[in-house]
């Protein structure tokens, strides 16, 4: 029997306090394929009460007990791996290969990284006569986005449990089914009652209630900067910790000593991954002014083979964007690029040829973009790349840092020492040199309006801990 219209609270699947449902739309067909229940204050109160009661016991579990629990969760996650991938493909339109190899894989990889981090984590150390102890912060409200659902769910749930916290999770109501499957994983793994709770719903009706709840000790939020500001303001009245991973407009500096063909080609691939729906995507490509036209030609050749279409087709590379709202936003921003004088190298307005339904976007590359253009400043969240010229290295660094965001930056150079030097100048939480592999043991989070706090591995565990000093411990 489906749990789509139930919440997972205190170890049981329960009906909402006030019955209300919401259609879940498959973005490839624009049709509803299931419904979820949406919660209200009463559901949040029940979930928080369960988490608060469970915290009394779970916070006193040993490191070894929590490690064993995470390993059981990982085992069940792997058993449900295909169900998770299918759910992501249906709810957000990810091609099945990408849903398996990136989306579902990310949840597995972060669980593995958290387990490895917990195995060696030190929760106390002595400093002179003082014992410094790291203790679980308490009940944690976790609000996750639709674009990397398993990545963000696991990046919050796993370290919270590793720290000894209890949680209430609200997945995105746009892509909620993978979160429900994850809750089934937690149930099957034998997570103690009240340690993990799930309430579906909208930001105003559930997310904000969680953020302002007096019995919630911490909010961990991933989403837009606009929504993050609302969460922070709501949480301020109860002076709780707020960790946020927000928007981005990441620069990709291709230095003169880089191989232009390789750097531009991989830059296009990086921008278009996940149909451009990644907060850290390299969406602003900075190239030497005297090679701008050459870069445009390379980018066009790299972009045009991208196959857009049915997520269930094996040869599809890019699926649709997630919703009508997102489709309209991307179209509006493409139109602004055209009106403001950027050159459409490939792509542009409308759906790709042959697709008359589904929220499909033409993979688009803009050239001759200037830093003040809307497409160079606003987060687009679609397969749209802006190529910008720079005069010299100082100009490139200035343009790269000239943004309210600071989530990621990318540096391409034939000289790694040169790349490191430029990386030291970037005002961003993550800097990627020469397109490295994804590292789930690194830290992830942003500067400026890209948020605060850090996720991944031991960095994530640290964010869910309070520090207590027992002074005079050694008398």
Q: How many angstroms separate the Cα of 307 from the Cα of each of 92, 95, 97, 251, 321?
A: 17, 11, 13, 25, 14
Contact yes or no for 23/39 (Cβ under 8 A):
no
Contact yes or no for 129/474 (Cβ under 8 A):
yes
Task: Name the catalytic one among 140, 165, 271, 279.
Answer: 279
Active site residue 245: yes
Q: Which of 79, 270, 275, 78 is nearest to 175 (CA)?
A: 275
> Quick one: how far is CA 68 from the chain centroid?
26
- The enclosing H or E element of 184 equals helix 177-188
The SS3 assignment for 30 reads: coil
Q: How far is Cα 452 from Cα 231, in angstroms, rounded to an integer?
A: 13
Q: What is the DSSP letter of 203?
A: I
Angle (CA) 95-100-101 rounded to 5° is 100
User: Which residues pair with residue 254 across a beta bridge?
Assistant: 412
Task: Name the catalytic one among 245, 271, 379, 455.
Answer: 245
Active site residue 304: no
Q: How far is Cα 83 from Cα 75, in angstroms, rounded to an integer?
A: 14
> Quick one: how far is CA 266 from the chain centroid?
21
Q: How far is Cα 283 from Cα 369, in angstroms, rounded to an integer?
A: 12
CA dihedral 176, 87, 95, 433 (to 10 degrees): 60
The SS3 assignment for 372 reads: coil
Q: From the CB of residue 60, how many other CB atoms can be counted at a distance below 10 Å?
A: 10
**What count of residues does the chain have?**
475
Q: From the CB of residue 271, how many other CB atoms can be counted at a distance below 10 Å?
A: 29
Q: From the CB of residue 76, how many other CB atoms can be counted at a distance below 10 Å?
A: 18
Q: From the CB of residue 236, how many other CB atoms can be counted at a distance below 10 Å?
A: 12
Which residues belong to the active site?
A: 245, 279
């Amino acid at each position: 029997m489906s749990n789509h219209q139930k919440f997972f609270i205190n170890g049981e699947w329960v009906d909402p306090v006030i019955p209300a449902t919401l259609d879940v739309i498959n973005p490839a067909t624009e049709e509803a394929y299931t419904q979820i229940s949406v919660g209200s204050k009463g559901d949040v109160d029940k979930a928080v009460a369960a988490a608060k009661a469970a915290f009394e016991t779970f916070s006193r579990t040993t490191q070894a007990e929590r490690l064993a629990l995470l390993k059981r969760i990982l085992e069940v996650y792997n058993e449900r791996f295909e169900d998770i991938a299918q759910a992501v493909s249906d709810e957000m339109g990810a091609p099945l290969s990408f849903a398996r190899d990136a989306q579902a894989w990310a949840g597995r990889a972060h669980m593995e990284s958290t387990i490895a981090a917990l195995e060696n984590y030190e929760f106390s150390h002595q400093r002179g006569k003082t014992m410094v102890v790291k203790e679980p912060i308490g009940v944690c409200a976790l609000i996750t986005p639709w674009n990397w659902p398993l990545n963000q769910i696991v990046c919050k749930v796993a370290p919270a449990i590793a720290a000894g916290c209890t949680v209430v999770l609200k997945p995105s109501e746009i892509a909620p089914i993978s979160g429900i499957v994850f809750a089934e994983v937690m149930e099957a793994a034998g997570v103690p009652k009240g340690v993990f709770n799930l309430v579906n719903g909208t930001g105003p009706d559930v997310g904000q209630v969680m953020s302002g709840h007096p019995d919630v000790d911490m909010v961990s939020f991933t989403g837009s900067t606009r929504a993050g500001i609302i969460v922070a303001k709501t949480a301020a009245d109860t002076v709780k910790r707020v960790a946020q991973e927000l928007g981005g407009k990441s620069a990709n500096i291709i230095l003169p000593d880089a191989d232009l063909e390789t750097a531009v080609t991989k830059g296009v691939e990086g921008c278009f991954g996940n149909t451009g729906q990644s907060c850290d995507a390299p969406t602003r490509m900075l190239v030497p002014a005297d090679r701008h036209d050459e870069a445009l030609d390379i980018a066009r050749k790299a972009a045009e083979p991208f196959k857009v279409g049915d997520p269930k087709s094996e040869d599809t590379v890019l699926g649709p964007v997630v919703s009508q709202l997102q489709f309209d936003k991307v179209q509006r921003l493409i139109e602004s690029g055209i009106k403001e004088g950027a050159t459409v190298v490939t792509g542009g307005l409308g759906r790709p040829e042959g697709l008359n339904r589904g929220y499909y976007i033409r993979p688009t590359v803009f050239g001759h973009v200037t830093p003040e253009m809307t497409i160079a400043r606003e987060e687009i969240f679609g397969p749209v790349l802006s190529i910008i010229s720079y005069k010299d290295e100082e100009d490139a660094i200035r343009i790269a840092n000239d943004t309210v965001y600071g989530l990621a930056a990318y540096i391409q150079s034939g000289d790694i020492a040169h790349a490191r030097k430029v990386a030291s100048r970037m005002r961003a939480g993550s800097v990627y040199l020469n397109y490295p592999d994804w590292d789930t043991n690194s830290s992830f989070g942003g500067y400026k309006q890209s948020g605060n706090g850090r996720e991944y591995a031991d960095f994530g565990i640290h964010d869910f801990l309070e520090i207590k000093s027992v002074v005079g411990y050694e008398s």
